[in-house]
Homo-oligomer: A and B are copies of this chain.
Amino acid sequence: MSAFTPEEIQALRSRFPILGRTVHGKPLVYLDNAATSQMPNSVIEAVREFDRTKHANVHRGVHQLSQEATDVHEGSRDRLAKFLNARRREEIVLTRGCTESINLVANTWGRQNLRSKDVVLVSQIEHHANIVPWQLIGNQTGSTVVPIPVLDDTSLDQDAFLKLLEGAAGPVKLLAIQHVSNAFGTIHPVVEMIRLARARGIATLVDGAQSVPHFAVDVQALDCDFLVFSGHKMHAPTGTGVLYGKFEVLDALGPWQGGGDMIDKVSFSGTTFHEVPYRFEAGTPNFTAAAGFTAALDFLEEVGMEKIHDRDTELVAYAHQELSTVPGLKILGTHLPKAGVVSFVLDGIHPYDAGMFLDQMGIAVRTGHHCAQPAMERFGVPGTIRASFAMFTTETEIDTLVEGVRRVNKILGGR
């Protein structure tokens, strides 16, 4: 039995205005949900309503509008704390996105704790956002970034991981690991990996950009020091992101960006800083988007994270099954479980060409390196074709994709 009835899926689809669009005269088949998710009406209208009635700068204002805007903005923090099962609202730092969240940790925790020769462990198939900030901070601290290799099925090599944890490449100070691979969809066993790291006194950061939108993530169950993700991948507006940090961990960190709101007392003889989480939130926050973030969480919880995950699993299984029948097609990422992504290559066909042709058929997939060049290098491909799903994706859409891929195969591969 499916997680949703066909009627339920149709009802879901009708909540997303963009799904009514056509592309090159064909109905849009949106299979690029891992790059950015679409916004349901409720989120779009929450943003609009906020800007029409409550738009005002937050925190410092005594007037009614500012109070209402502050309630909405801080309300999104409460809502996020609950969504993640955080112990305290202060554990939620609001950022502009997953990328900023990681840079924030690198420039605060990293600068304070990393020393020359220390190792930051990441995976070999990490998103650039979880590689480059550690390289950049390494230029200042002398620390290095070491990849945990992946096996041919894109799962992490756990033996190699254990050796690295034991110091094979130097003393590990931080495990900074994706929960779900954006390039391949692989769900990594982060709970167990965090347990192993913590047992050795190693700090942990989970890149939840592709997990938090797809299944319930409980920070207390994960027991990580940091969890980062973006709003725009979970039906919330762009320009929103979250850094969850354990209170004691955050509380021990100095500031990163300076400006309004993050200070206690400013003077030219010396400045003191505000408490957590405000210490990390310099400048006017994206308060309009916060209204949309709350609406997005309402939407996700109304649909149900468990059902979303079940549906996701169905779609991945169906796509695997159908794509496997296409000659010359190879799926990268055969290890299960996976979340929402199927990545593949076509023998002798450049992913860019395939993407261009699929686009002409109204099918939006992502092609290229998916901001994970080391992953592409690992598998010896210039890029892949990636279809990524949402709760509103249908089997029919996957059929359209498969049909499209067959045509590409015929035109470009002579198959």
A-to-B contact residues, CB < 8 Å? 17-18, 21, 23-24, 28, 30, 32, 35-36, 38-39, 44, 47-48, 51-57, 60-66, 96-100, 102-103, 106, 127-129, 131-136, 145-147, 230, 232, 237-240, 255, 257-263, 265-268, 271, 282-289, 352, 355-356, 358-359, 363-368, 371, 373-374, 377
A379 to chain B, nearest CB (A): 14
Contact (Cβ within 8 A) A60 B368: yes
Find A283's partner among B60, B97, B356, B377 (CB 8 Å cutoff): B97
A173 to B36, CA, bound (A): 42
For A262, the closest partner residue in chain B by CB is B132
**Chain A interface secondary structure, helix, strand, loop or mixed?**
mixed
Copies in the complex: 2
Find A128's partner among B23, B53, B259 (CB 8 Å cutoff): B259
A131 to B103, CA, bound (A): 22
A103 — which chain B residues lie within 8 A by C-beta? Answer: 257-259, 282
A283 — which chain B residues lie within 8 A by C-beta? Answer: 96-100, 129, 230
A52 — which chain B residues lie within 8 A by C-beta? Answer: 17-18, 44
Find A53's partner among B21, B62, B145 (CB 8 Å cutoff): B21
Q: Given the known A-B contacts A57-B32, A259-B133, are A238 and B38 also in contact in the complex, defined by CB atoms under 8 Å?
A: no
**What are 18 inter-chain pairs, A to B, with CB distance below 8 A?**
A32-B56, A32-B66, A47-B47, A56-B364, A62-B359, A63-B355, A64-B364, A97-B283, A99-B260, A100-B257, A102-B259, A127-B260, A128-B263, A132-B259, A132-B262, A133-B257, A230-B283, A259-B371
Contact (Cβ within 8 A) A135 B258: yes
A39 to B51, CA, bound (A): 7
A129 to B263, CA, bound (A): 10
Contact (Cβ within 8 A) B136 A61: no
A283 to B100, CA, bound (A): 8
A53 to B352, CA, bound (A): 24
> Of residues A284, A286, A356, which shows the largest number of chain B Cβ atoms within 10 Å of its Cβ?
A284
